[in-house]
Chain A
Amino acid sequence: MTKSSNSDGFAHQLWEFFASVKLSVFILLSLAVTSIFGTVIPQNKNPLSYHQKFGDVLFKLFKTLDMFDMYHSWWFRFLLCLLTINIIVCSINRLSSTWKIIFPKRPSFNINRFRKAKNRQQWSAQGSVEQVKDRISPWISKRFGRFTVESSANGYLLFGEKNRWTRLGVYAVHLSILLMVAGGLVGSIFGFDGYVNIPEGASVDSVLLRGNQPEVKLNFKIKCDDFDLTFYEESEMPKEYRSRLSIIKDNQTVIQKDIIVNDPLRFEGINIFQSTYGKMPATQLNVTFTEKASGLIYNKKATMTSPVEMPGNSGTLIIEEFRPHFSFRGVTLANTFLCRMIPRQGDPKHIIISADFPRFDMMRQGDFIISISNTDFKYYTGLQVTKDPGVPIVYVGFLFMIIGCYVTFFMFHQKICVEISTDSGKTAVMAAGISEKNKPGMNVVIRRLSRQLQKLT
C-alpha cells in the first residue's frame, strides 16, 4: 500500500483505518463495555414489566436503543461487523508483508545480527575447528529442522532454525473468530430455535418459535410415549427428567429413544432436547353449576379457552388457564383453573376454581357455585427443538482458536547460530539466538543450548 493517487486516496485511507490495531483494541473494549448492559437489564422480557421497572423516560430511551434485546440490536451487530472487517483487513495487510518472511525461497542468515545478540554465550573448546564442528553438528541438526553449515574466514558458522510456521498461529486465532461469526450467521439464517409441549401419548408435527413468528412444520412427527420425573431419595430435588420419544415418518416409527437433559435426540439435522415438563388437564372438562337458591345442578361440557353458556341465560364462562400451582391470598393451591365470567349484565370478572376442592367457589358468594371435574390430569414434556447448520463451522472455529492460541503463546520461531573460530591457536565457540516474538524464551533456549554444547566440546 505504498502507491497512492487521488482516485484511491479515500480507499487507501479507509483501508488504513481498518488495518489499525488501535481500532481492534477500541472495538474489543467497546464490545466488553456494552455487553455489560445486557447482563444488568434482563433481556427479552415482557415490555410491561420493563415499563414498570424503569419508568417512562428510561423505558423509551432503552427501547430506542434496543436495550431489551441488545445482543441482536443493530448497533451491537454493527460492532461485530466492524470487528470482522478489522480482522480481515489486518490479516491481509500483515500476511502479505510477512508471507515472504514466513516462507522464503532461500532462508538467509546474517551473522552480524547474531554477533550483536544480547543472549550470546562464548567459551573456548578443545580440539580443532573441524573436530568441534563434527562433534556438535549432529546435536544441533537433530533439534533444529533447518540446519546449514557455512565456512567462514577462520572457522565455521552453524545455523539452525525451527518453528518458522508458528508465525501463522495468530492467523489461525483470527480465522477462528471469522469462522465463529460465519457459523453464527449460517445458524441464524438457516436454523431455528423452537419449542413444543407434548402430552403423554400425543404427537406433534410442528414447533413454535420464540417471539411472534410463524410455527415451523417438521418433516416428521414427534410422539411422546412416556414422561417420567424422578426425585432424589427423601428430597424434592429432581434427579432426572426422561421422555420416551418416537420419531414417526410416513406413518412408520423410525427411531425410539429416551431423552434426558444432557442426552438429546438428533434426527435429520434437527435436535430435540428435554427442556421442561408440566401438568395439563384433559381437553374435555366437566363444569358443574350449582344454583344456590334452588340447589339445582347443571352439568356442562367445556374445553379450555372456549366460552360455555351459563345456566338460566345468566352469562358465559371461559376457562382461560390452568395452573398446577397458584398462589391465592398467601396459600398455594394445587390444580387451579383461572376463568373469566362474563355476566349478562355488569362487568366481567376473574374467578378461581380449584379442581381439588369443589366447594371452593362458594367463597365468591355468587348465584352459582362453579366446579370443574373430570380433569384427568396428564403430564406433558416440554421439548426444545432446534436446527443449526452453523454448528460444524463454529466447532472448527473452536478448534482453530485453541490450537492457534497455544501455538501463538507457547511456541515461537527460533533462529540460532553457533560460530566456531580459531583465535591465536585456540578454538572459540559462540552461540546466539534470535527471536522476533519471544526474547526471554530465546534466552532460555540459548542458555540450555550452550550448557549442552559445552559438555560436548
Chain B
Amino acid sequence: MPSSEIFSIITFVYGLATLLYVFSWIFKKNFPGKIATAVTIVAVLGNLTGIILRWIESYQMGIGHAPLSNLYESLIFFAMTIALTHLFIEFRYKLRFIGMIASPIPFLAMAYASLPKVNDAIQPLIPALQSNWLITHVMTCFVGYAAFAIAFGVSIMFLLKPSGDVPQSGIVSRIPAFDILDDLTHQMVMFGFLFLSIGIITGAVWANQAWGRYWGWDPKETWSLITWLIYASLLHARLMRDWKGKKIAVLSCVGFIAVIFTYFGVNLLPGLHSYQ
C-alpha cells in the first residue's frame, strides 16, 4: 500500500479518536475513553508506518531523503508529534481529558495536508536542504511546536472553565481543577521552550555551515525568535513574579499565535523557509 493511502486512512482514525474522546467526555463514560486511547495508539503507529514508507518510496524514486522537506510532510510529522506528546501526558499524568483538546489537532493537520492546494508529491531536495541537519532541526522544532500546541489547548480549557463559586454544571464542570491545568501549561511550556531553543540553535549551526552566517534575520528566523521571546517572558513572569492562572493562560495563547505564524504565516513572506 502506498504511503499516501495510509495517510488518508490515518486521517479518519484520528477523527475517530477525537469523536470517542468527545463522547466519553460528554457522557461521563470511561470505556469509550479507553478505546479512544487505543485508537490514538493505532493512529500513531499507522502515521509512523506511513512516514517510513514515504521515506523508502523516495529512495525508490532515486531522490531519497527524510520526509521532512515540504508543507505536506511537515504537517504529517506534526500530527504524529502532537499525538505522541498527548499519549505521553495521558500516561504520565493519568489525565484522559487531554485527549479532548489534543486529538483534534492531528486530525485537523492531516485533513489540511490532504487539501488539493497542499502538494503531496515526493519532491527532490534543493541543494540548500541537502544536509544531515535537516532531520535534527525539523524534529526538534516540531516537538517544540507540539508541546506549545498542547499548552495552548490546556490554556483554552483554563479560560473556558468558570471560576469562583458559580455552581458548575454541564460539560465545562468536568474540566480538571485550575491548579492541574496551570501546572500542565507550565510543564508543556518548559518542554516546548527547551526544544524550540534546540531547534533554533540547530538551525543556526546549519545556517552557519551552509551560508556562513548563524543568524540572518530571515522572516522565519525572526518569527521563531519572537515566539521564543514571548515564552521567555511567560517563564520569567511565572517564576519570578509569581504570575499564575489566567495571565499565564493568556500569554500561552499569545505564544501559540506566534508559533502558528512561525509555522504557516511565514509562507506569506519571502525567504528560504517558505514551503513551495
Chain A interface residues toward B at CB < 8 A: 21-22, 24-25, 28-29, 31-32, 35-36, 38-40, 42-43, 71, 184, 193, 232-233, 235, 237-241, 260-262, 264, 271, 273-275, 384-386, 388, 391, 394-395, 398, 401-402, 405-406, 409-410, 437, 440
Judged by a CB distance under 8 angstroms, whether B201 is at the interface is: yes
Q: Taking the nearest CB of chain B, how far is it from the CB of A175, in angstroms?
A: 14
Contact A238 B214 (CB under 8 A): no
A28 CA / B193 CA spacing, docked (Å):
15
Contact B131 A262 (CB under 8 A): yes
Contact A241 B127 (CB under 8 A): yes
Judged by a CB distance under 8 angstroms, whether B229 is at the interface is: yes
Contact B209 A391 (CB under 8 A): no
User: Which of B48-56, B83-91, B100-108, B232-240 participates in binding chain A?
Assistant: B232-240
| A238 (CB) vs chain B CBs: closest residue | B127
Central interface residue in B191, B214, B236, by most chain A CB within 10 Å: B214
Contact B226 A36 (CB under 8 A): yes
Q: Taking the nearest CB of chain B, how far is it from the CB of A280, in angstroms?
A: 21
Contact B226 A35 (CB under 8 A): yes
A275 CA / B128 CA spacing, docked (Å):
10
Q: Taking the nearest CB of chain A, how far is it from the CB of B44, in angstroms?
A: 24
The one of B63, B191, B204 that contacts A232, using a Cβ cutoff of 8 Å: B63
Contact B130 A261 (CB under 8 A): yes
Contact B124 A21 (CB under 8 A): no
Contact A409 B222 (CB under 8 A): no
| A230 (CB) vs chain B CBs: closest residue | B127
If A25-B233, A273-B211 touch, does A262 touch B128 (CB 8 Å cutoff)? yes
A440 CA / B198 CA spacing, docked (Å):
26
Contact A32 B229 (CB under 8 A): yes
| Residues 200-234 of B at the A interface (beta carbon under 8 Å) | 201, 204-205, 208-215, 217, 219, 222-223, 225-226, 229-230, 232-233
> Contacts of A235 on B, CB cut-off 8 Å?
124
The one of B126, B225, B229 that contacts A238, using a Cβ cutoff of 8 Å: B126
| A170 (CB) vs chain B CBs: closest residue | B239
Contact A240 B127 (CB under 8 A): yes
The one of A22, A31, A71 that contacts B217, using a Cβ cutoff of 8 Å: A71
If A273-B212, A402-B197 touch, does A262 touch B191 (CB 8 Å cutoff)? no
A66 CA / B250 CA spacing, docked (Å):
32
Contact A21 B240 (CB under 8 A): yes
Chain B binding surface SS class? helix
> Contacts of B208 on A, CB cut-off 8 Å?
391
The one of A237, A274, A402 that contacts B198, using a Cβ cutoff of 8 Å: A402
A207 CA / B114 CA spacing, docked (Å):
48
If A43-B217, A409-B193 touch, does A35 touch B209 (CB 8 Å cutoff)? no
| A260 (CB) vs chain B CBs: closest residue | B127
Q: Taking the nearest CB of chain A, how far is it from the CB of B178, in angstroms?
A: 14
A28 CA / B230 CA spacing, docked (Å):
7
> Contacts of B123 on A, CB cut-off 8 Å?
237
| B184 (CB) vs chain A CBs: closest residue | A440
Judged by a CB distance under 8 angstroms, whether B164 is at the interface is: no
Contact B229 A405 (CB under 8 A): no
A374 CA / B232 CA spacing, docked (Å):
62
Q: Taking the nearest CB of chain B, how far is it from the CB of A278, in angstroms?
A: 15
| A383 (CB) vs chain B CBs: closest residue | B212
Q: Taking the nearest CB of chain B, how far is it from the CB of A236, in angstroms?
A: 11
Q: Taking the nearest CB of chain B, how far is it from the CB of A341, in angstroms?
A: 36
Contact A409 B198 (CB under 8 A): no
> Contacts of B229 on A, CB cut-off 8 Å?
28-29, 31-32, 35
> Contacts of A28 on B, CB cut-off 8 Å?
229-230, 232-233, 236
Report 13 cross-chain contacts, Cβ distance below 8 Å, ordered by A residue.
Answer: A21-B237, A38-B217, A39-B269, A240-B127, A261-B210, A262-B128, A384-B211, A385-B212, A386-B213, A395-B205, A405-B194, A405-B197, A409-B194
| A241 (CB) vs chain B CBs: closest residue | B127
> Contacts of B194 on A, CB cut-off 8 Å?
402, 405-406, 409-410
> Contacts of B241 on A, CB cut-off 8 Å?
21-22, 25
> Contacts of A29 on B, CB cut-off 8 Å?
229-230, 233
The one of B201, B212, B230 that contacts A271, using a Cβ cutoff of 8 Å: B212
Return the 10 tightest CB-CB contacts between A and B, nearest first: A386-B212, A32-B229, A261-B127, A409-B190, A21-B240, A262-B131, A39-B219, A232-B124, A28-B233, A398-B201
Contact A275 B126 (CB under 8 A): no
Q: Taking the nearest CB of chain A, how far is it from the CB of B274, in angstroms?
A: 12
| B271 (CB) vs chain A CBs: closest residue | A39
A277 CA / B239 CA spacing, docked (Å):
51
> Contacts of A395 on B, CB cut-off 8 Å?
205
A385-B212, A405-B193, A437-B239 known; 7 new pairs, CB 8 Å cut-off, are: A35-B225, A39-B219, A39-B269, A261-B127, A261-B128, A409-B191, A409-B194
The one of B205, B222, B240 that contacts A398, using a Cβ cutoff of 8 Å: B205
Judged by a CB distance under 8 angstroms, whether B116 is at the interface is: no
Contact A32 B210 (CB under 8 A): no
A42 CA / B268 CA spacing, docked (Å):
12
> Contacts of A275 on B, CB cut-off 8 Å?
211
Judged by a CB distance under 8 angstroms, whether B120 is at the interface is: no
| B265 (CB) vs chain A CBs: closest residue | A39
A193 CA / B241 CA spacing, docked (Å):
42
A391 CA / B209 CA spacing, docked (Å):
11
If A394-B214, A398-B201 touch, does A32 touch B230 (CB 8 Å cutoff)? yes
A232 CA / B209 CA spacing, docked (Å):
24
> Contacts of B266 on A, CB cut-off 8 Å?
39
| Residues 228-259 of B at the A interface (beta carbon under 8 Å) | 229-230, 232-233, 236-237, 239-241, 258
| B225 (CB) vs chain A CBs: closest residue | A35
Q: Taking the nearest CB of chain B, how far is it from the CB of A221, in angstroms?
A: 19
Q: Taking the nearest CB of chain B, how far is it from the CB of A129, in angstroms?
A: 36
A427 CA / B32 CA spacing, docked (Å):
47
| A402 (CB) vs chain B CBs: closest residue | B198
Judged by a CB distance under 8 angstroms, whether B167 is at the interface is: no
> Contacts of A184 on B, CB cut-off 8 Å?
215
Contact B236 A262 (CB under 8 A): no
If A264-B209, A386-B213 touch, does A402 touch B127 (CB 8 Å cutoff)? no
> Contacts of A240 on B, CB cut-off 8 Å?
127, 130
A391 CA / B233 CA spacing, docked (Å):
27
> Contacts of B237 on A, CB cut-off 8 Å?
21, 25
A398 CA / B198 CA spacing, docked (Å):
8
A148 CA / B242 CA spacing, docked (Å):
33
